[in-house]
Amino acid sequence: MQFGIFSIADITPDPLTGAIPSEHERLEAMIEYAVQAEQVGLDVFALGEHHNPPFVTSSPTTTLGYIAGRTSEIILSTATTLITTNDPVKIAEDYAMLQHLAGGRVDLTMGRGNTGPVYPWFGQDIRQGLPLAIENYELLHRLWNEDVADWEGKFRTPLQQFTSTPRPLDGVAPFVWHGSIRSPQIAEQAAFYGDGFFHNNIFWPISHTKQMVELYRRRYEHYGHGSADQAIVGLGGQFFARKNSQDAIDEFRPYFDNAPVYGHGPSMEDFTAPTPLTVGSPQQVIDRYMTMREHVGDYQRQMFLVDHAGLPRKTVLEQIEILGTEIVPVLRRELDALRPAHVPDGPTHAGRVAARDAELAASGEPAYDDAYRFGTGDNWTGLTVEGGQRAQEQSLARDRRNQARLEQSQAGKESK
């Protein structure tokens, strides 16, 4: 199972000192958190995307690319990539480039975001949010899986004989999580493509999370990608821990009470009871997150928000240390021991390349060849004759495998 931290890079005053970090200081802090996360043994660092104050995360690929140069093992992800207001062509190019530069240590979470004004800023209509998410991801998926794409939709200009460059590393696109809190259509989209579903339930009761995950699992199996318990699920979470639980409560309370999102509302005790926010000792955090499996089944990724609400940099680094050295080792050991053998681990680039190669070998198809296969000498993309034939054969073979999986799934249901 994979564990990590994510940041939305909010600039929030410290309620105790009134100190407000500059944008530069906030960016420097995020880099330090990512490096610290790798050093203490966490698996993933993820970054949100916002285009308005008080956030400084307008360019996740730039930031994650810099972090890639400072790290060597940790997976670099996004807490949200705005599939509605970003051009799918640019997403395909930017994240494939980042994938190459990071040696495959890249995946991303597609989402619609929670800031309404961002839509007109990028020339879109918020009333078309769901259709945009569905259409844009269809195009992105094709750009990563087809060497040459012809495409026409409702929300952008058509593409003719278009090749997104660079092509995905080793012929395997970055793994995609579809993130949603409320929209069953997004759970359906994740299931249709056989992608991951990430429920960032940091403000929601586990009963709601359970409903969304169960829907995704049922539909994942319906589309023939595997059994429901093999679907790839990720959850969001929050904690604040100290050796003594009362110390954690006393230290975190002013930050909770003044947090931009949930401050000046319910008490910390009332808020933590139904939501995943856990404030206490490391053992209390472990006990709380061990129960998540009882509600959503075995899942692959657990992420924690740790650097919000104006917490000082020193405090955040201490929290990352506690998470990586005291909490995660126990959760990893206990949850991995409970997971059945047929339920997959968290997705990695190396694991997905190995699975692709095994599938090609089992079907008798040629092994993947990363030789450059495009024409040169002008500004018009196009495969060479040999490369075009190979790409077409691989695309047809992939379609046949997907259709066979769907037919097997349907046949299994009819026989019951």
pLDDT 10s digits, 13-25:
999 999 999 999 9
Cα(7)–Cα(305) distance, integer angstroms: 6
CATH architecture of the region 2-338: Alpha-Beta Barrel (3.20)
Q: Give percent of the chain with pLDDT exceeding 90.
A: 75
Lowest mean pLDDT among 226-235, 243-252, 327-336, 381-390: 381-390
Return mean pLDDT, the chain.
90
What is the predicted pLDDT for the residue at 103? 97
Residue 262: partners with Cβ closer than 8 Å, 6 or more residues away: 203, 256, 271
* 0.85 exceeded by pTM: yes
Whole-number Cα distances in Å, 406 to 36, 52, 155: 43, 43, 29
pLDDT at 387 over 70: no
Contact yes or no for 99/168 (Cβ under 8 A): yes
Domain ranges of the chain: 2-338, 349-415
**Going along 205-291, which residue ranges are E strands?**
233-235, 239-241, 278-280
Handedness of CA 372, 376, 382, 384 (dihedral sign): negative
Among 386, 410, 388, 390, CA closest to 398? 390
Q: What would the mean pLDDT of 260-278 be, rounded to a whole number?
A: 91
Q: How many residues are given for the chain?
A: 416
Q: Give the tens place of pLDDT for each residue, 28-63.
A: 999 999 999 999 999 999 999 888 899 998 999 999
Q: Is the pLDDT of residue 106 over 80?
A: yes
Give the model's confidence band at 114: pLDDT under 50 very low, under 70 low, under 90 confident, else very high: low
* Whole-number pLDDT of residue 385: 46
CA dist 107 and 68 (Å) reads 13
Q: Write the secondary structure of 365-387 as one string of H (helix), E (strand) and C (coil).
A: CCCCCCCCCECCCCCCCCECHHH
Q: What is the distance between the alpha carbons of residues 160 and 150, in angstroms, rounded to a whole number? A: 5
